[in-house]
Structure 1
């Protein structure tokens, strides 16, 4: 067995223990006490914080058991890991900067290796523009912790021009086009709703949930499967679907002042409702109209049109971002 392999085995063994002695290691690995002492000195130089405890029941202990043994990476693997870490700049993750810088230093070499040159080139020639609507790292961490520990949170968050308050239990977090989302169990409505974490104003822990909710992967599969099936179900030319849209008073005014010939049922307060059947080939046309109305039109059915509107808004956002500089 090579010395590197024995060092790694000793590292793993002592890292899993709160306390150990030279004699214990000597018997475990069938090595002399002098060899074990040399190994401990080398492991300490490699970064494993080993502390000597004096006294009758003295010995050694690892100050922090979260250290992992050395892992051998290829140059391509190192560059892939560093590229992924650097890409986190786009999310304004100040919370990770210290750790990322530490990793960068550990994989750099004193000699002029190709890996070191690659790292320097990555710093010099690759940049990621931070998302202006960056979410607070602490909020993402809070939602992650609440998901993994089944915590009940009281949150206040922005919803349009309103500030809503809810008791929720997150089931996970996911990133979609630079924005963090969390499907959460809403205790008031007794169903899973989707929360944008960047809209959170305040978070408070109020308890622990004893209920088992759907997993994040199950929710994602169901959500996107339902969306896909809804689109497929109306793809036959000539087949119709029911379009139900709520219009504000301003939305009704915008449609009336335009050339769009839409059947609107008016309410007493001047707002209105579009309730009609449309064909698959007309969907893009209606999406364009609804997009021009902005927040003055709320699509109730079919739900997948909201996803089409979201994608259209996202395309426009990226268009303006690319042309800002």
Structure 2
């Protein structure tokens, strides 16, 4: 096997293994231990973070910050990957903001000049617009890490009345309408809740806390795990075709949406009572494009809001 090919396969092998010995690699590649030692030295000089341990149970291991082996991309794949990352540039806060910027910079700088020229031409032809928000989301990284690693996190949360301390186990994070949200199991409520990430004032891991086994819970099914129904209300809203288009990005994760063949539709499902003030303001903004049928609490809040608006403009 040519040395260049052996080094490439060796790089992929050591990245895949948690721990290994020189003897194991020598047997796997059919070369001497001395050759493997030289190859490992070359990989180390290329930036692969190898760590050696001495003793009867020693060997080599790759540090946590692994360096991925080179991957060959077609031109179309390279352009697609660049724009997949480029699409997030309007978000001021991302879970891996620094790393994303660094990865995109490396990717752009190391592709060939003609592909760079093509990307430069396309930058001003394609855009992915998201609403600009003044809110800060500094805790996205720890929330996502808590979801992936099944960790308990203590947060200070800003509610309408006061700041609350909560121990949560995140399900994940998602962006909608320029805001980030975190569905999580709340240990105080003993149920799943949805938290707005810009209202999380602080977040810290609780290593001593015992997490629940929620590995089967994810962003697509967490609502089905909500046990507490006493704070919910049945909702039904008729939508015009335009109403469907306006509601889909804002409400599709809150209330199930059903779309008819003609493009009109309706919202039907359970909603938390604490969402009613937001939903009332939202449906007032939709005007004739939405007709709320229930719950009565939402109808009352809409009427109250319209009365306040009428009084305001009558005064002025």
Query: What's the TM-score, normalizing by structure 2?
Result: 0.58
Structure-1 residue corresponding to 2:199: 199
Q: Secondary structure at the match of 2:12?
A: helix
Structure-2 residue corresponding to 1:218: 221
Contact 1:153–1:167 under 8 Å retained in 2: yes
Contact 1:51–1:61 under 8 Å retained in 2: yes
Structure-1 residue corresponding to 2:106: 105
Structure-1 residue corresponding to 2:82: 82
Structure-1 residue corresponding to 2:292: 283
Q: Cα distance, 1:196 vs. partner? A: 0.6
Q: What's the RMSD between the two structures over aligned residues?
A: 5.0
Cα distance in 1, alignment partners of residues 186 and 222 from structure 2: 14
Q: Secondary structure at the match of 2:73?
A: coil
Structure-1 residue corresponding to 2:114: 114
Contact 2:152–2:211 under 8 Å retained in 1: no
Cα distance in 1, alignment partners of residues 274 and 148 from structure 2: 38
Matched ranges for 1:142-181 at <5 A: 142-160=142-160, 162-181=162-181
Cα distance in 1, alignment partners of residues 302 and 48 from structure 2: 60
Cα distance in 2, alignment partners of residues 65 and 19 from structure 1: 17
Query: What's the TM-score, normalizing by structure 1?
Result: 0.57
Contact 1:151–1:205 under 8 Å retained in 2: yes
Deviations 1:118-171 (A, max 9, x none): 34446677676783334334x112222332344333333223354334333322
Structure-2 residue corresponding to 1:8: 8
Matched, 1:293 2:295: no
In structure 1, list runs of 5 or more residues that go unmatched.
Answer: 238-243, 252-280, 298-325
Cα distance in 2, alignment partners of residues 167 and 113 from structure 1: 50
Structure-2 residue corresponding to 1:30: 30
Deviations 1:157-216 (A, max 9, x none): 223354334333322222223221112223343322211111112234455244334612
Q: Which has the larger radius of gyration?
A: 1
Aligned residues: 253
Q: 1:47 and 1:231, CA in 2 relative to 1: closer, same or farther beyond 3 A? A: same
Contact 1:172–1:215 under 8 Å retained in 2: no
Deviations 1:282-305 (A, max 9, x none): 439x98x929828x89xxxxxxxx
Cα distance in 2, alignment partners of residues 246 and 89 from structure 1: 30
Structure-2 residue corresponding to 1:132: 133
Q: 1:3 and 1:160, CA in 2 relative to 1: closer, same or farther beyond 3 A? A: same
Cα distance in 2, alignment partners of residues 175 and 87 from structure 1: 13
Q: 1:56 and 1:181, CA in 2 relative to 1: closer, same or farther beyond 3 A? A: closer
Q: Secondary structure at the match of 1:154?
A: strand
Matched ranges for 1:232-311 at <5 A: 282-283=291-292, 290=302, 293=305
Matched, 1:228 2:230: no
In structure 2, list runs of 5 or more residues that go unmatched.
Answer: 227-251, 267-272, 281-289, 310-316
Deviations 1:190-246 (A, max 9, x none): 3222111111122344552443346123225789699337999xx999xxxxxx999
Q: Cα distance, 1:19 vs. partner? A: 5.7
